[in-house]
Amino acid sequence: MTPTTSDAVDAPASSPGDAGASAASSTPVPFDASVADGIVIVDKPAGLTSHTVVARVRRLAGTRKVGHAGTLDPMATGVLVVGLNRATRLLGHLQLADKSYDATILLGATSSTDDAEGEIEVAASPEALAAVTPSAIDAAVAAYRGPISQIPSKVSAIKVDGKRAYERVRAGEEVELKARNVTISRYDVLDVRTVAGGIEVDISVDCSSGTYIRALARDLGADLGVGGHLTMLRRTRVGAFDMSSAHTLEELGESFAMLPIADVAADTFPRFDADAEQAAAIRTGRPLPGLKLTAGTQTAMFAPDGTFLALYEPSGPLAKPTAVFVS
């Protein structure tokens, strides 16, 4: 997918083109982020909430129609998928369940929040830490590959009786969360090193939605008998979106870049190119007979001029809309 860019939010000039192409080889086209529909991949900085990032993008784009998928904690950095205008409705249809993270775990101490933002509760003795070898870490990590049952961190955003778990914890309440089934398809140990007060373990993880990396840090420390918590977390991929298409807020301020909704739809779903009569029906969300769409998935429907119109899926002898993006 090729990002559409604009040197300034309200500037009319843009230069879409393949990565690495020179400005001279691109044809400038009008671009106004306030009315354009697309996906912005933000490289979220540490210290900001996902809500704050959305607010920043809203100001840069000059539109209030901005939303995001897959919240990141303030401490975390990396890929945050943001939808602009009509693409906010596309977010719920994208396959964003699989995610990748790079992280650092500090073995040797537990934290009230399972990460570096909490208070240290219990520190391991030097003797206990000395017994933690790289081979012992590898063996403990191996037990978490594949389908597992995981108890989320107490300071997660999961609701307990209508109130966020982290709100209850901050109010001094005891919170007991139920275990959830998640899948860790890759859990690699990249580096192990001794530091003051503990052992740092760099990891890289591919996992299903709902996996808490803070909980992985907590559980690894518990299994090794020395406690552990997360000190760094960077999300490197959400579904098909990775760091290769991500931009910092500073970069977006200098040259606003997004993936047009048509490109995202074409790259994500099977494509159907409608004729003029079919396109007119799709624009109003009418069911269509006689279309051979891929069973079990949504299909992106395009007009003859390349405009992305809607998502349809087969329903008996008809193809019916799941979402229409034009009128």
Catalytic annotation, residues: 73
Task: Specify whether the CB–CB gap between 44 and 70 falls below 8 A.
Answer: no
> Token digits for 260?
């047009």
Q: How far, in Å, CA of 148 to CA of 14, rounded?
A: 47
CA distances from 22 to 14, 16, 19, 137, 252 (A): 13, 10, 9, 48, 19
Handedness of CA 124, 158, 42, 243 (dihedral sign): positive
Amino acid at 159: K
Q: How far, in Å, CA of 59 to CA of 302, rounded?
A: 30
Structural element, H or E, at residue 148: strand 146-150
Q: Residue 28: CA atoms inside 13 Å, Cβ hemisphere, count?
A: 10
Q: How far, in Å, CA of 157 to CA of 165, rounded?
A: 6
Q: What is the DSSP letter of 313?
A: E
Q: Which residues face 238 on adjacent strands? A: 99, 241
